[in-house]
Amino acid sequence: MTEHVEVTGRGASHVVPDLVIVRARLQSDAKDVASALTESSNRTAAALQAASDHGIEARDRRTDDVGIHPRHDQNGRKVIGYTAYQAFRLTVRDRDRVGDLLQALAGAAGDALAVDGIEMAADQTEAAVSAARDAAFEDARTRATQFAHLAGTELGKVIRIREGRVDDQMPRPMFARSADFAGSMPIEGGTQAISTTVTVRWELA
C-alpha cells in the first residue's frame, strides 16, 4: 500500500442574513371535530390573507402542519371538546416589516395566534459554502504539509477527498408567547456562519 497522510481540515465563511422566517400557529377549540376544523381553517385563512396584504408572496407562505386532538376533563377520561390547529411559516424579505406583519396576523386571528419562533436566514449561501470549502482544503493542506515535513518527506498527489456535512449556524430564534405585539420589532441579523470539513489523503513522495 502506498504511504500516505490523511488529514481533516476545517473551514468557515460568513454571510449576512437577509430573510426573516416567522413560524406561527393558530388553534381553535370547539365541542366537535367539524366545528374546530372549520374555525381553525377560517382563522388561518384570515391570517394568511393578512400576510398576503402585507406583501408576503405565495412562494413565501407555507403550511407546516395541520392536526386535531381531543380535550379531556380534569380526570382525563371524558372528552369535552376538540382542538384543531394549523402551523405555517412566512418568509419575510424586508425585516423592517416584521412588527407590522405580526400585528396584522394578531388582528386577523386574535388570541388564537401563537408565534413559535422568529429566526434569520440567508437567501444566497452558495458563495459562502464555496469559500468554506476553500478554507477547509487549505487547512488540510497546511496540516498535511507539516506532518510530511516532520516525517522527513513531502506531499505527493491527492488520492482521495471526502467532504463532511455543511453546517449553517444561524442566530438563535426568538419566541413570542402571546399575540400582543408592539408596533415595531427591531430585528438584528448579525452574521450566519457557514462551516464545513474536508478529509484529504495525499501520497507521500
Which residue in 26, 3, 11, 32 sits closest to 205, CA to CA? 3
> What is the distance between the alpha carbons of residues 32 and 40, in angstroms, rounded to a whole number?
12
Q: Where are the domains of the chain?
A: 1-17+123-177+189-205, 19-121
- pLDDT at residue 44, rounded to an integer: 93
CATH architecture of 19-121: 2-Layer Sandwich (3.30)
The CA-atom distances, in angstroms, between 144 and each of 8, 137, 157, 174 are 9, 10, 12, 42
Q: What is the CATH number of domain 1-17+123-177+189-205?
A: 3.30.110.170
- pLDDT at residue 174, rounded to an integer: 46
Q: What is the pLDDT along the chain (205 residues), one digit of tens a residue?
A: 679 999 999 999 988 888 899 999 999 999 999 999 999 999 999 999 999 999 999 999 999 999 999 999 988 889 999 999 999 999 999 888 888 899 999 999 888 899 988 888 888 888 989 999 999 999 999 999 999 999 999 999 999 999 998 887 655 444 444 344 444 555 666 778 889 999 999 999 8
Dihedral sign of CA atoms 169, 135, 146, 1 in order: positive
Do 174 and 150 contact (CB within 8 A), yes or no?
Answer: no
Instruction: Name the helix (H) or strand (E) containing 27.
Output: strand 19-30
